[in-house]
Chains A and B, each alone.
Chain A
Amino acid sequence: MTRRSVLEDWIIRETGCRSREALDRWQLAQLREALDRAKARSPFYREHLASVRPEEITSLGALDRLPFTTADQLRADPRRWLCCGAAEVERIVTLKTSGTTAAPKRVFFRREDQERTVDFFAHGMGELVSPGDRVLILMPGQQPGSVGDLLKRALERVGVSAVPGGPVTNIAASYDLLRTSGCGCVVGIPVQVLGLAEYGARLPSGQRARLNSVLLSADAAHPALIHRIRTRMGCEVFNHFGMTEMGFGVAVECSVHQGCHLRENHILAEVVDPKTGARLPEGQPGELVFTTLDRRAMPFLRYRTGDLGVLLPGPCPCGSFLRRILPQGGRLADRGRLWALDGVLLACPGVVDYSVRETPEGPALTLYGVVPPDPEEARQRLEQAGYAAPKHIDAQVITGFSGTGMQKRSLPERSV
């Protein structure tokens, strides 16, 4: 059964815009104000936008006149990006990049910025839950201002109770919690939810949790992975695309599941050619570039995300005029190799995750599952997909996921 994206009514109320054209004009007006504020208050943007005249940004085409911002610029000196005094910052989120000695990315939020994230979560989760429902949040939530904390606040605001389960450090324990907590909905990290799905599918049917819906967040979810979760858990799966720099939430699928509807009252999205930076039309894949329209602490204006995706053309089959992105193709940094491998390996029965390491004899692949997956199946599928399968493929049992789970999965530099 399809219904219009729940975000649309909220965005219409917030912006007064009932059509694509009206919303485009509204976004441009907001952007001009954001440019004025950034130039006036941020030492970084004062220089960065020195030659930009906000009053000239009167069409989407004119966005070309705005220089991009990058993660490297953010790492170099986040405090110069600030548009307010340090004392007004409510929360800082530090993102370390694994495997490098590069300075971390630090993103600063004022209370109003966090409030907008909570508002988006409160409305977006309306796709999955109603007042009286209960959600198991398998994301970090201990610290105030963490993504799990903001999500819990948002759900409570709309009469939905939330169980903060934390990341899945132990699959059996998290599954037990799912079954005993009475939660009909789970929010979690894609491979961790896949681990739960595989574990649950192996239990006698009387011992399985009954779930209505799942929201996947915090890392890329290949359609192959989504399909496995949907079939193993027997419930609807909603993909969500988010990014700390954008205030955690960016876009969420509707019941049609063809792309994620954007939080257009807060974010303007573009897709550009990764090599030339030229804006690409809807339907053409490229690098996702986001602009925040209303951030009071640290605006991100034409921020190159390093993620690949496409802006889907036209209205959604759900009936909404809200733009949709399809996050697809993975990360620019690894030329989309992890995404492509996910498409093959996460389609293999029993594979919950995998890792590749370099050995003197070339790359070695390890498959993880709640029971050891079949290396030969993986080898055949890799070869069918046109890869030279690694000489060494082994399989291991996984009982949980380490760390906070918030590090995105990645491949080592030279591999498959």
Chain B
Amino acid sequence: MAEQTLICTACQCPLETRRVDFEYLTHTFFADALRCPRCGQVYLPEELVQGRVAEVEMELEDK
């Protein structure tokens, strides 16, 4: 999977690694992820979601 280039189906162009901003519970954080240079659609791989995103979410989900 890491070797393949991912393309955006709408724009038919390769995704590029970019900084992506996330917002959750009024806080923002960022991570690098594959993003379409044309339409901005982001591809979130499993490892990112289960890893960094989940970590930050749980930190913010305080009582």
Main secondary structure of the interface of B (DSSP, over half): loop
The A-contacting residues of B in range 3-29, CB under 8 angstroms, are 25-26
Q: How far is the CA of A325 from the CA of B55 in the complex (A)?
A: 36
Known: A143-B26, A144-B25, A145-B25. Contact between A106 and B63, CB under 8 A? no
Q: Select one of B25, B58, B60 contacting A104, CB under 8 A.
A: B58
Q: For window 35-63 of chain B, which residues contact chain A by CB distance below 8 Å?
A: 57-63
B62 touches A406 (CB 8 A): yes
Question: Within 8 Å of chain B (Cβ to Cβ): is A92?
Answer: yes
Give the Cβ gap from A117 to chain B, nearest Cβ, in Å.
Answer: 12
Is A344's beta carbon under 8 Å from chain B?
Answer: no
Do the beta carbons of A94 and B25 come within 8 Å of each other?
no
CB neighbors of B among A110-147 (8 A)? 140, 142-147
Q: Looking at chain A's contact residues, is the secondary structure mostly helix, strand, loop, or mixed?
A: loop
B contacts with A, residue count (CB < 8 A): 9
| A146 in complex: contacting residue of B57, B58, B59, B63, CB < 8 Å | B63
- Determine the distance from Cα of A404 to Cα of B60 in the docked complex, in whole angstroms: 12
Cβ contact within 8 Å between A94 and B62: yes
Q: Does A52 contact B (CB under 8 A)?
A: no
Q: Which residues of chain A (76-118) have a CB below 8 Å from chain B?
A: 91-96, 104, 106
Contact A94 B58, beta carbon cutoff 8 Å = yes
Nearest CB of B to A315, in Å: 33
Instruction: Kindly list chain B residues whose C-beta atoms are within 8 Å of the C-beta of A410.
Output: none
| CB neighbours of A93 from chain B (8 A) | 61-63
A191→B59 CA distance, assembly (Å): 24
Q: How far is the CA of A144 from the CA of B26 in the complex (A)?
A: 8
Closest chain-A Cβ to B46's Cβ sits at a distance in Å of: 15
B63 partner residues in chain A, CB cutoff 8 A: 93, 95, 140, 146-147, 218, 244, 248, 404, 406
Bound state CA distance, A140 and B25, in angstroms?
A: 14
A145 / chain B contacts, CB cutoff of 8 Å: 25
Chain B residues near A144 (CB, 8 Å)? 25-26
Chain A neighbourhood of B61, CB < 8 A: 91-94, 106
Contact of A106 among B58, B59, B60 (CB under 8 A): B58
Chain A min CB distance to B24 (Å): 10
Q: Which B residue's beta carbon lies closest to that of A145?
A: B25
| Chain B positions near chain A (C-beta within 8 angstroms) | 25-26, 57-63
Ranked nearest first, the 8 interchain pairs of A and B with the lowest CB-CB distance are A94-B61, A94-B58, A406-B63, A143-B25, A92-B61, A147-B63, A93-B61, A93-B63
7 contacts between A and B (CB under 8 A): A94-B58, A140-B63, A143-B25, A144-B26, A146-B62, A146-B63, A248-B63
